[in-house]
Structure 1
């Protein structure tokens, strides 16, 4: 599929520009899907406040999509191939962290404003730094460590000034940071390189279903029937089920495009894209929901995002310096 896409783009823009045009296109689609997911997801929580169940719907819809793509012969857009028991074992660890982090993030989205959850999630690099040191023994450049200071200060300011703040939303966003940090470190330790990014995410979705279904049943199963009845009474059955299917597709596709983008760019460039994406999500949600942000929350959000950019920049500089050949004496 990708070679065909490149050939098509090359025919329009020329062979030299084609890879860059495709990459920019991937980033644009990733952003659009991610913004759409966040807005629809929060809308659903306003009339159906069941984050464990909604998280499970996200991954079930994604798994159905993967199975259908595989069944009709589009294996490259799905699992790719059947993996070995050893490969599944390597994927299971990071995928389990992805699933738990996803549920935690959705609990936060349901509890507080989207802007606050995403501001708190700018702290994810801090968790990566600590876990990389504790588990992998990897140090972090001093400049990158210092850049965590404005992130922490910004998150503290934004949280203190956010009108929708509550401890459930804050702590679950922090839990999502922790699990995604473990996912990043675990991926470095164990992730197989024999599969492309789309296949890895398809199997990650399968593992997420295995984990999310029992969690949802334990946490919300006894209240689910009544919750569905109330939601349908508010918005109607057609909209209720359409919204759930649509948000599941948006979740799966934006993650797939994020994985595809990571395969096409360096991790540092991907980090920069994440910073810009978070800005787009925060301010689009403020406009869409007509959200009131205090001056303190706005300033804190901007400081945290600026700190995240600094972290990415300092990490990039350190990697570039490390890659340079040593100077002759």
Structure 2
């Protein structure tokens, strides 16, 4: 919850000091609000689902499952934006799926709560990427779209946070403060919220420049670092099968990136009259 609260406070502060282009940019119309409400809701649900998965299984498994995000983006991009993915590029996603299956089956901490939550996060983040891309216009930048996404996400999350965890928040905060101290507790909350907001803002800035599918694949690079960092810092043990599955999933991501790049830079064949041929 702190990531949307801190993120909203950050956007408001930046806007008030005059750096509007780094925040909300401008006011939005009812129509624009409607377009942003969808990805903002998916943003909120996706992060809640991911955090449930983190609590249920090893961090490495959650991020391995979330390498399936590009596959969800392929389907949703086709259904919502009408963007077709070439067959060779689409087939390159199969190793990712196989790798995730192997890693999940070989992970010692596997349980269905963690797996289903991670898959729900994939689905909602797929909708967030596709709908968020559609909400970006020439007059409403990716930074502004994400600022409003954060604000709306806070409004969506707040009632659930108060209703489900409100009675436990005070006791939980008191226990954490007793363990690490008040300054460390609030300082960590603030920094985690701020860094999480900035990470997602940069992700939206990237989304404005690439397709939702490529954006999902870019996220996998981040997951490579997180998977192996979790093994090092949290002493998590990867079985041989889980390790093989993770490597296959990451190799599939490289294959997708390579094929996608080649297709993107492939020149269309010339048709009659020197004009590009149309399908």
Same fold (TM over 0.5): yes
Aligned to 2:174: 229
- CA drift at 1:101: 0.7
Aligned to 1:326: 270
In the aligned structure 2, how far is the partner of 1:172 from the partner of 1:193?
A: 35
**Deviation digits for residues 219-270 of structure 1, max 9, x if unmatched?**
322322222233223323222221111100110111122233444x544765
2:113 to 154, 168, 193: 168
Task: Kindly report which structure 2 residues correspond to 1:49-64, keeping only aligned pairs within 5 A, or say none.
Answer: 56-64=1-9
- CA drift at 1:205: 0.6
Task: Kindly report which structure 2 residues correspond to 1:37-52, keeping only aligned pairs within 5 A, or say none.
Answer: none
In the aligned structure 2, how far is the partner of 1:216 from the partner of 1:171?
A: 21
In the aligned structure 2, how far is the partner of 1:281 from the partner of 1:119?
A: 10
Is it true that 1:292 corresponds to 2:222 in the alignment? Answer: no
Q: Which runs of 5+ in 1 are unaligned?
A: 1-55
- CA drift at 1:189: 4.4
Aligned to 2:29: 84
**Deviation digits for residues 97-155 of structure 1, max 9, x if unmatched?**
11111111111122222211111011112212233344455443211232222111111
Aligned to 1:213: 158
In the aligned structure 2, how far is the partner of 1:280 from the partner of 1:144?
A: 24
Q: Pairwise CA RMSD of aligned residues?
A: 2.3
Is it true that 1:155 corresponds to 2:100 in the alignment? Answer: yes
In the aligned structure 1, how far is the partner of 2:207 from the partner of 2:38?
A: 20
1:313 to 238, 258, 270: 258
Aligned to 1:15: none
1:258 to 203, 215, 230: 203
The DSSP-based 3-state class of the residue aligned with 2:31 is helix
- CA drift at 1:204: 0.9
In the aligned structure 1, how far is the partner of 2:159 from the partner of 2:258?
A: 41
Q: Which runs of 5+ in 2 are unaligned?
A: none
TM-score (norm 2): 0.87
Aligned to 2:52: 107
- CA drift at 1:327: 5.0
In the aligned structure 2, how far is the partner of 1:254 from the partner of 1:79?
A: 17
- CA drift at 1:206: 0.5
Assess, with a 3 A threshold, how the Cα gap between structure 1 residues 100 and 192 changes in structure 2: closer, same or farther. Answer: farther
Aligned to 2:225: 280
In the aligned structure 1, how far is the partner of 2:205 from the partner of 2:221?
A: 17
Number of residue pairs matched? 272
- CA drift at 1:190: 4.5
In the aligned structure 1, how far is the partner of 2:59 from the partner of 2:245?
A: 15
Aligned to 1:177: 122
